[in-house]
Amino acid sequence: MSANVNTSLPLEYQTEQSRLNILGFWIFLGAEIVLFATLFATYSVLKARYAGGPTPNDLFEIKGILTETILLLTSSFTCGLAIFEMRRNNRNGLVAWMIVTLLLGAGFVFMEITEFINYVHEGATMQTSAFLSSFFVLLGTHGLHVSMGIGWATMIIIQLIRRGLTPTTARKTFIIGLYWHFLDVVWIFIFTFVYLARMVG
């Protein structure tokens, strides 16, 4: 695992174990795609089953949703900048951009929770109708992923500060980067199919 460091490769790919971990994580993301695809399928089956409860037109407000989207998309960009700094071997730049990324992510989670609380106050809970069950579980799963990502990345930032940039910390940072971008892609689908398509229709 620690043996055979190949210094001609980028830092995160230098050890055998790192290469295995990164491939394994890509495959895990494949499983995550199936997971979210199933949730999207569920949503698209149940999306018009309001059971007399509120409809998207009653609930969704584009302003907040657009802000959430901008926050999360920007965080993906700053996450890219963080990996760029990692490639330049600039630990402090990496940590700084990671913190910016997490703050943007936290802003997203905060806004999403606020949005959910508003819905609940308007009487739209996950028990109200099949549409809302699938809405809350799809978005909740994504939001939970972002929250877990924030916690996970915090652990890695602590390790980067304590240990500096090593093949291991670089690999961990690279993997959380993959995860973060993946969640961004999922959000683009949520934004398109859950919000936008329902508001023009």
Partner 1 sequence: MDILLGSIQWNEILMGGDPLIVGSQIAIGLTMLGILAGLTFFKKWSWLWREWLTTVDHKRIGIMYILAGVLMFFRGGMDGILMKVQTLTPEEKFLNAQHYNEIFTTHGVIMILFMAMPFLIGLMNVVIPLQIGARDVAFPQLNALSFWLFFVGAMLFNISFVIGGSPDAGWTAYFPLAGKEFSPGIGNNYYAVAIQIAGIGTLMTGINFIVTILKMRAKGMTLLKMPMFSWTSLITSIIIVAAFPIFTVALALMTFDRIFGTHFFTISGGGMDMMWVNLFWLWGHPEVYIVVLPAFGMFSEVIATFSRKSLFGYKSMVGSIVGIAFLSMLVWVHHFFTMGAGPAVNSIFSITTMMIAIPTGVKMFNWLFTMRKGRIQFTTAMLWALAFVPNFVIGGVTGVMLAMGAADYQYHNTLFLVAHFHYVLIPGVVFAVFAGLYYWWPKMFGHMLNEKLGKIHFWFFVIGFNLTFMPMFFLGLKGAVRRSYTFSVESGFAPLFLVSGIGAFILAIGFGAFCYNIYWSARYADRNISNDPWDARTLEWATATPVQHYNFAKVPEVKSLDAFWHMKKNKVSLDISEDELEEIHMPSNSGQPIIMASIIGVAGFFLVFEWKIAALIAAVGILVGLIVRSFDYNDGYHVHIDEIKKTESKWRKVTKGVNNNVG
| 110-149 positions binding partner 1, by CB under 8 A | 126-131, 133-134, 136-137
> Which of these segments, 25-33, 61-69, 80-88, 182-190, binds partner 1 (CB under 8 A)?
25-33
- Name which position in 5, 6, 9, 38 contacts partner 1 (CB under 8 A): 38
Task: Quote the least distance from Cβ 154 to partner 1, whole Å.
Answer: 9
Q: Answer yes or no whether residue 31 interacts with partner 1 by CB under 8 A.
A: yes
Task: Quote the least distance from Cβ 190 to partner 1, whole Å.
Answer: 15
CB 97 within 8 A of CB 79: yes
Q: Answer yes or no whether residue 188 interacts with partner 1 by CB under 8 A.
A: no
Q: How many residues bind partner 1 (CB under 8 A)?
A: 39
| CB closer to partner 1, 24 vs 164 | 24
Question: Which residues lie near partner 1 (CB under 8 A)?
Answer: 1-3, 19-21, 23-24, 27-28, 30-32, 34-35, 38-39, 42, 45-46, 49-51, 126-131, 133-134, 136-137, 151-152, 155-156, 159, 168
